Structure 1
Amino acid sequence: MKPLAVASLFISTCMGAVVVVPSAASADISIQATCSRTVNVASSAYSTVDPIAMPSTGSTASSTSCGMAQGANSSAVGALQRALKYCYGAGITVDNDFGPATKSALVSAQKREGITADGVYGPQTRLSLTWRSVGNRCDKAANPIYT
Structure 2
Amino acid sequence: MNRIRDVRTRSAVAVGALLAGLVGGAAVGAPSAIAAADPACSRGATIYNKVTNPTSYKYIPYAASNTSNCWLDRGMSNSAVTALQKNLNACYGYKLATDGVYGDLTESALITVQKRVGVTADGDYGRNTRSAMVWANYSLETGSRINCT
In the superposition, the TM-score normalised over structure 2's length comes to 0.69
State the Cα deviation string for residues 63-122 of structure 1 (Å, max 9, x = none). Answer: 111000001111110110011112111231111110010000000111110111110000
Does 2:45 align with 1:39? yes
Q: Paired residue for 2:112, among 105, 108, 111?
A: 108
User: Which ranges in structure 2 are unaligned for 5 or more consecutive residues?
Assistant: 1-12, 140-144
**Cα pair distance change 1:112/1:72, threshold 3 Å:** same
Larger proportion of helix: 2
| Matched letter for residue 111 of structure 2 | V
In the superposition, the TM-score normalised over structure 1's length comes to 0.70
Q: Which residue of 2 aligns with 1:92?
A: 96
DSSP-derived class of the 1:125 partner: helix
Larger radius of gyration: 2
RMSD, aligned CA: 3.0
Number of aligned positions between the proteins: 124
Higher relative contact order (CA 8 A, sep 6+): 1
Contact persistence 1:31–1:65 (CA under 8 A)? no
Contact persistence 2:136–2:148 (CA under 8 A)? yes
Q: Paired residue for 2:128, among 121, 124, 136?
A: 124
- The 5 Å alignment of 1:3-82 reads 20-22=30-32, 28-29=34-35, 31-42=37-48, 47-58=53-64, 60=66, 63-82=67-86
| Matched letter for residue 99 of structure 2 | D
Contact persistence 1:39–1:59 (CA under 8 A)? no
State the Cα deviation string for residues 21-41 of structure 1 (Å, max 9, x = none). Answer: 345xxxx43651111112222
DSSP-derived class of the 1:133 partner: strand
Larger proportion of strand: 1
